[in-house]
Each structure stands twice: as C-alpha cells, then as structure tokens.
Amino acid sequence: MPNAPTSNPTVAFIGGGNMARSLIGGLVARGRAADAIRVAEPVAALRDALNHDFGVTCSEDATVAAERADVWVLAVKPQVMREVCTSLVPLAQARRPLVVSIAAGITTAQLERWLGGSMPVVRAMPNTPALLGAGITGLFANARTSGAQRDDADSLLDAVGPTVWIDEESTMDAVTAVSGSGPAYVFLLAEAMQAAGIAQGLSPEAARALVQQTLLGAATMLVTQDEPADVLRTRVTSPGGTTQAAIETFEAGGFRALVHRAIGAATERGRQLSAAND
C-alpha cells in the first residue's frame, strides 16, 4: 500500500549538491529530525560533508536512501534524471511516494512516466538564494497529488524561502526564467554598474560597496514597501534630475525589450531541456 501523507514525512534526497544541501539545512534548522532525512550522493566528499554538518544518513545508492522514505526529492541534473528514475521504478511502484523534482525543464508527465506511472509528482523551481534561506520556489502539482501531499511539498520548500503555487505547468518554464535564473541577471547588473562607476572615477572598492548596498536597499524596499516597482521607481526619479537622465538612456536603448527577449530565451531553453531529455 502507498504511504499515507504525513505532516513530518521521512525525506530522501536523490542528489546531494548545493540545492539539496540548502534544503536539508533549512529542514534541520526548523526542527526536522536528522534521522528522518536520507541522501543518495555518488561523491564521497559530499556525503561526508552532509553527514558531518547535519547528521543525516548518506548512501551512494539511490535505492538504499529511498527505500523507507515518504517523500523523494529528485535533485540531480536534468540530463541524468531519466536514468535515475528508471533505476527507481520497482521501488517507486511498490511505495508510491510523493516525488518532488527540482530539475529545470523536466515535466511532471515525464517524471511520472519514467517512474512507471501513477505517481504523485510536484515540480519545484527554487533559486540560489535558497542557499541563504532567502530563496523563492515555484511549485506545480500533478493531478495525482493530494492536498496533504501538496502541504508536505510546501513545507519542504518553505524551509528555504516563500513558495508560489502555479496553476498551469506550461508556465513553470517562465518561473525558471524569471526566478530560477533571475539572480544571475541581478549579478550581471551589479557587474555593469560597478564597471561604469569605475569608469567614472570611483575606486573598485568604493564602486563595489556602493552597488552592493544599493541593490540590497532597493530589494528591501521592493519586499517591505506596499508599493509596486513602477511606483517606487517614479518616486526616485525627480523630473530633470540625474535619475531621469539615466532612466531615459535605459529606455532609449531598448532596456525593456531586451529583458523581454532574455526572459523569453530562458523560457524557451527550459522547453528545449524537456524535449532533449524525453
């Protein structure tokens, strides 16, 4: 018989990389018992570090880690996901666990099929600030996932930041493009701002400090102020002032259209990953 969903399920992480590590750390910090978390990871150094830092049980073999778990978190690269799932088919069909995947571009239908069919699957897309407990995760559940299992998935991912449930899986690639890849866009902006500041005569140290705190402050305002981004931008942009000169230059250079194209390219790449690994 399938395991009944539980408010404190045993979790098996298939893959022990950075994102899995951040989730494990978040769960342990929130009081999840270490003996309720298992990890399958082929790299011995990663297994040793997870065991040492969090006291979780680690194994090289995915089946060993997953055999008594209520929830499986698939945290491997998209390119090897099908192979990993295929190796787990007999156990998946016997236990019917909740499967949570954090692999970009792999659909719930693909995962369900690769695991032998009739599986509750949640597709999740956290982003790298999850490593600091400051991430956000988009979630989509297939029709076989119960309300209790959705709660289990939400509790799991909420350990590293807020969650947002998506109604249509077709938009999960846009979640990946906006938030999964999004931190890199901010880092690119920081690079460009620092370089421009240096070009205007600032020292590298001063430019870096100014950019870092400016981005932190602006992000804090976006999160804490009950105002949309366009309103906050308008408040900073005095008519005829320095900010207006910069904003007009951005707009004249096609800034918005470029962002639209970039998000579109990332979304399409997510779809291509799904097709390439089917």
| pLDDT tens track for 179-191 | 999 999 999 999 9
**Same domain flag for 186 and 149:** no
The answer as to whether 145 is a domain residue is yes
8 Å CB contact between 166 and 180:
no
Q: Find where tokens 């690639």 sit.
A: 173
170 has pLDDT over 50: yes
**Same domain flag for 26 and 164:** yes
Report the mean per-residue pLDDT for the chain.
Answer: 94
Report d(CA 163, CA 260) in Å as an integer.
24
The answer as to whether 55 is a domain residue is yes
8 Å CB contact between 16 and 43:
yes
What is the total count of domains within the chain? 2
**Same domain flag for 155 and 40:** yes
**Per-residue exposure over 171-185, b if at least 16 CB sit within 10 Å of its own CB, e if not:** ebbbbbbbbbbbeee
The answer as to whether 2 is a domain residue is no
pLDDT for the residue numbered 278 = 73
Report d(CA 169, CA 185) in Å as an integer.
24
**Same domain flag for 166 and 215:** no
5 has pLDDT over 80: no
Give the pLDDT confidence of 17-67 residue by residue, as tens digits: 999 999 999 999 989 999 999 999 999 999 999 999 999 999 999 999 999
274 has pLDDT over 90: no
**Same domain flag for 119 and 159:** yes
**Same domain flag for 90 and 190:** no
pLDDT for the residue numbered 183 = 96
The answer as to whether 1 is a domain residue is no
pLDDT for the residue numbered 4 = 42
**Same domain flag for 99 and 137:** yes
273 has pLDDT over 90: no
**Same domain flag for 201 and 163:** no
Nearest to 174 by CA among 203, 138, 201: 138
**Final residue of a domain: which of 109, 142, 171?**
171
Give, as one character, the DSSP assignment of residue 171: G
**Same domain flag for 26 and 112:** yes
**Final residue of a domain: which of 120, 147, 171?**
171
Residue 199 sits in a domain whose CATH number is: 1.10.3730.10
Residue 189 structural domain: 182-273
pTM of the full structure: 0.88
8 Å CB contact between 71 and 8:
no
pLDDT for the residue numbered 7 = 60
Report d(CA 152, CA 69) in Å as an integer.
13
Question: Region 234-257: what's the mean pLDDT?
Answer: 97
The answer as to whether 177 is a domain residue is no
Residue 167 sits in a domain whose CATH number is: 3.40.50.720
Question: Region 173-199: what's the mean pLDDT?
Answer: 97
- Residue 1's pLDDT band, with cuts at 50, 70 and 90, is very low
**Same domain flag for 71 and 195:** no
**Same domain flag for 133 and 221:** no
Task: Tell me the CA distances in angstroms from 239 to 228, 236, 245, 253, 267, one per residue in order.
Answer: 20, 10, 9, 20, 36
**Same domain flag for 127 and 187:** no
